[in-house]
């Protein structure tokens, strides 16, 4: 570590071309120290101490920034990764120590050659904005480049060479895209994953159904505990007519992944049923949890019925005491259990609540379409949805659940009390199997407006209709050969 005291008299200009400098004053302190304790292909770990300045907060390290570059290529871009500081128990002298553990799978800077030497420096940031760096000389780690090689061949074919344009319409045709994965993957190491259990606790979940669902979830928890990566993240989102906020288990509830899974199981066991079924709210909340684009992301979605509730924003005209006005308002649509009655309730920002009966079929279509749009957005963000319809054909529309899941490259299965545990375990295994994922994106602007694509269950357009997408494609990795 560089130990130096700098005093300012007048104005000095200091040029340090080789040292990382932020636009803030860095104070050196002989008592600050840190060390990198472990570097592997999968992680970097270390610690730092930082005694205070007597102001009550200066000794608190909030986070670390790990900076990595390829030795001999110092002029190239340095990769920086922020990781939260974890306070360790104080030693016998009362000195505080802060540790970090950074997952490095898929994060090493690309470089050529069989082996690559990386230089690593860590910045420890304190709550008062100051930071210090360690070690004094960059830590050097020699990493062997993987000999894996993967590729994806593709071909476009059409069943016809020409399409005849009718006099009063557009020519319609079909374009087939064939994808062929090839290559090999050596030393398969499963990357960390994010999994969110989305759990329906609406009023239709009878006591027996709810107990079966809890037992099935426990089986999934047990599977993940036996097959987890230390950097995996798991969460639980129970929902009925909205998300049950006080029973949500976020990713960060526990540091240890097995403790996190135990918390999910115990929280699920405390759930009670009641209310309607709001797919959109549950899936939108789930999407907000996924904040690491480098991870594979999965939703295991259990429901025993179709969506009956939607909360959205719409332009509504209110009429109160003969005064009318229009505003963007919070609106709730509810399908009642009689299968005939639908209610729209609008909430004005002025505290006025206005309810009216609306057409049942139109409202059912609105609620279902909104959930489809949410699922489409999941797919465009590489989030896989595995759905379990827990009920008979009168209770669950499996075709609809299959459509939602297919938009994300996932699957839907019908569950019973007898097979529910098995389905949970199957979906859990799919989430942990090493795979290559992909999505076909077609930029429509490249056709100069001469081609339009019709949306189907397998193909959809973004909101601006600028790009078309297929369902996510999944290629299983078996042994050393990629197979589709």
161-202, pLDDT tens digit by residue? 777 778 887 777 777 777 676 666 555 556 788 999 999 999
pLDDT band for position 92 (cuts 50, 70, 90): low
Structure tokens at 446: 């490249």
Give 212 or 191, the one with higher predicted confidence.
212
What pLDDT does residue 45 have?
93
pLDDT band for position 409 (cuts 50, 70, 90): confident
pLDDT band for position 88 (cuts 50, 70, 90): confident
d(CA 242, CA 179): 40
What pLDDT does residue 400 have?
94
Residues 307 and 395 sit within 8 Å (Cβ to Cβ) = no
d(CA 354, CA 317): 10
DSSP 164: P
User: In Å, what is the CA distance from 403 to each residue of 234, 299, 324, 411, 452?
Assistant: 25, 15, 41, 9, 22
The full length of the chain comes to 484
Residues 85 and 64 sit within 8 Å (Cβ to Cβ) = yes
What pLDDT does residue 30 have?
47
d(CA 477, CA 484): 8
pTM over 0.85: no
What pLDDT does residue 7 have?
37
Structure tokens at 267: 């929280």
What pLDDT does residue 168 have?
80
List, in order, residues 6 or more apart from 160 with CB less than 8 Å away.
173
Is the pLDDT at 203 greater than 90? The verdict is yes
The mean pLDDT of 334-347, rounded to a whole number, is 95
Residues 271 and 244 sit within 8 Å (Cβ to Cβ) = yes
Three-state DSSP class for residue 442: strand
Give 380 or 463, the one with higher predicted confidence.
380
Short-list 129, 93, 88, 131, CA closest to 1: 131
Tell me which residue has tokens 């998300």.
Answer: 243
Give 10 or 62, the one with higher predicted confidence.
62
Is the pLDDT at 386 greater than 80? The verdict is yes
Give the chain's mean pLDDT: 82
Short-list 70, 185, 61, CA closest to 132: 61
What pLDDT does residue 392 have?
83
Four-point Cα dihedral 201, 205, 208, 211, nearest 10: -10
Give 443 or 301, the one with higher predicted confidence.
301
The mean pLDDT of 38-67, rounded to a whole number, is 81
Give 404 or 447, the one with higher predicted confidence.
404
d(CA 238, CA 417): 20
Is the pLDDT at 457 greater than 50? The verdict is yes
Positive or negative, the CA dihedral 429, 434, 440, 443 is positive
pLDDT band for position 149 (cuts 50, 70, 90): low
pLDDT band for position 129 (cuts 50, 70, 90): confident
pLDDT band for position 473 (cuts 50, 70, 90): low
């Amino acid at each position: 570590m560089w130990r130096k005291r700098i005093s300012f008299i007048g104005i000095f200009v200091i040029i340090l071309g080789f040292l990382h400098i932020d636009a803030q004053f860095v104070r050196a302190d002989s008592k600050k120290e840190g060390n990198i304790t472990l570097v592997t292909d999968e992680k970097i770990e270390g610690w730092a101490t930082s005694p205070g300045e007597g102001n009550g907060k200066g000794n608190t390290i909030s986070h670390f920034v790990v900076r990595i570059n390829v030795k001999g290529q110092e002029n190239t871009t340095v990769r920086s990764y922020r990781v939260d500081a974890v306070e360790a128990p104080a030693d016998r002298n009362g000195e505080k120590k802060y540790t970090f553990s950074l997952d490095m799978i898929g994060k090493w800077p690309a470089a050529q050659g069989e082996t690559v030497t990386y230089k690593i420096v860590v910045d420890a940031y304190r709550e008062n904005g100051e930071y210090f760096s360690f070690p004094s000389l960059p830590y050097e780690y020699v990493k062997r480049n993987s000999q894996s090689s993967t590729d994806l061949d593709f071909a476009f074919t059409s069943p016809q060479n020409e399409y005849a344009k009718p006099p009063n319409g557009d020519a319609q045709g079909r374009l087939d895209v064939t994808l062929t994965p090839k290559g090999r993957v050596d030393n398969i190491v499963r990357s960390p994953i994010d999994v969110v259990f989305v759990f329906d606790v609406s009023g239709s979940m009878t006591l027996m159904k709810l107990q079966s669902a809890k037992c099935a979830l426990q089986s999934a928890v047990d599977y993940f505990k036996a097959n987890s990566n230390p950097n995996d993240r798991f969460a639980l989102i129970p929902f009925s007519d909205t998300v049950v906020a006080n029973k949500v288990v976020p990713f960060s509830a526990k540091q240890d992944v097995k403790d996190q899974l135990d918390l999910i199981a115990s929280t699920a066991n405390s759930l009670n049923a009641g209310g309607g079924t709001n797919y959109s709210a549950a899936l939108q909340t789930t999407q907000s949890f996924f904040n690491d684009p480098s991870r594979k992301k999965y939703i295991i979605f259990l429901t025993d019925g179709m969506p009956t509730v939607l909360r959205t924003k719409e332009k509504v005209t209110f009429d109160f005491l003969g005064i009318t006005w229009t505003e963007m308002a919070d609106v709730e649509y509810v399908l009642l259990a009689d299968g005939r009655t639908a209610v729209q309730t609008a909430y004005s920002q002025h505290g006025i609540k206005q309810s009216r009966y609306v057409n049942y079929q139109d409202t059912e279509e609105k609620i279902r379409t909104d959930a489809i749009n949410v699922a489409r957005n999941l797919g465009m963000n590489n989030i896989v949805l595995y759905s379990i319809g827990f009920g008979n054909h009168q209770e669950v529309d499996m075709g609809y659940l299959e459509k939602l899941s297919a938009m994300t490259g996932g699957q839907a299965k019908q569950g019973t009390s007898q097979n529910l545990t098995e389905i949970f375990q199957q979906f859990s295994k799919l989430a942990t199997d090493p795979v290559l994922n992909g999505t076909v994106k077609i930029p429509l602007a490249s056709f100069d407006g001469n081609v339009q694509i019709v949306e189907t269950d397998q193909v959809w357009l973004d909101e601006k209709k600028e790009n078309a997408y297929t369902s996510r494609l999944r290629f299983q990795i078996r042994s050393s050969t990629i197979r589709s």
